[in-house]
Structure 1
Amino acid sequence: MASNCEVFCEILIAILLPPLGVCLKKGCCTVEFLICLVLTILGYIPGIIYALYVIVFQNRDEQSREIRAPLNSA
């Protein structure tokens, strides 16, 4: 689980360079990175919005799956 400082740094990087923030979070050869790169090329603001979505909301989905995993296996 990421600390608040790590999340803050990821969000700051995503605002400055959206594809870099997604690359650090998901990897450079992922669909998320390519989508963010295309959106940033088309417009800076859509790239930022998508990068923040990937960093903040997809991270919550993964954490909720980890929390529910012991309940599903029982």
Structure 2
Amino acid sequence: MKITRLILTVIIPPIGVFLKRGLGWPFLISIVLTLLAYVPGLVYALVIVLGDEKKSGSV
């Protein structure tokens, strides 16, 4: 599942954030950053997806 999430994150960054954190502020921030420019959205999504597993439950 982790590799699938990583591949989806590279293709469409908000999808990876959604799979990791669900609907919420991180998802909305990812959408905005991706719409403004792909690279900032991708970097933000990778930080969320590859970040510490302990933080995945916090909002």
**TM interval, short-chain normalised:** 0.7 to 0.9
Letter matched to residue 21 of structure 1: G
* Aligned mate of 2:21, from 7, 20, 26: 26
2-structure distance, mates of 1:52, 1:35? 13
2-structure distance, mates of 1:52, 1:7? 12
Query: Any stretches of 5+ residues in structure 1 without a counterpart?
Result: 1-5, 64-74
2-structure distance, mates of 1:44, 1:34? 14
TM-score by length of 2: 0.83
Where relative contact order (Cα < 8 A, 6+ residues apart) is larger, the structure is 2
RMSD: 1.4
Q: How many residues align?
A: 55
2-structure distance, mates of 1:36, 1:62? 20
> Is the aligned partner of 1:15 residue 2:7?
no
1-structure distance, mates of 2:12, 2:53? 23
Largest Rg, 1 or 2: 1
The sequence identity of aligned pairs, in percent, is: 36
Query: Any stretches of 5+ residues in structure 2 without a counterpart?
Result: none
2-structure distance, mates of 1:62, 1:20? 20
Letter matched to residue 46 of structure 1: P
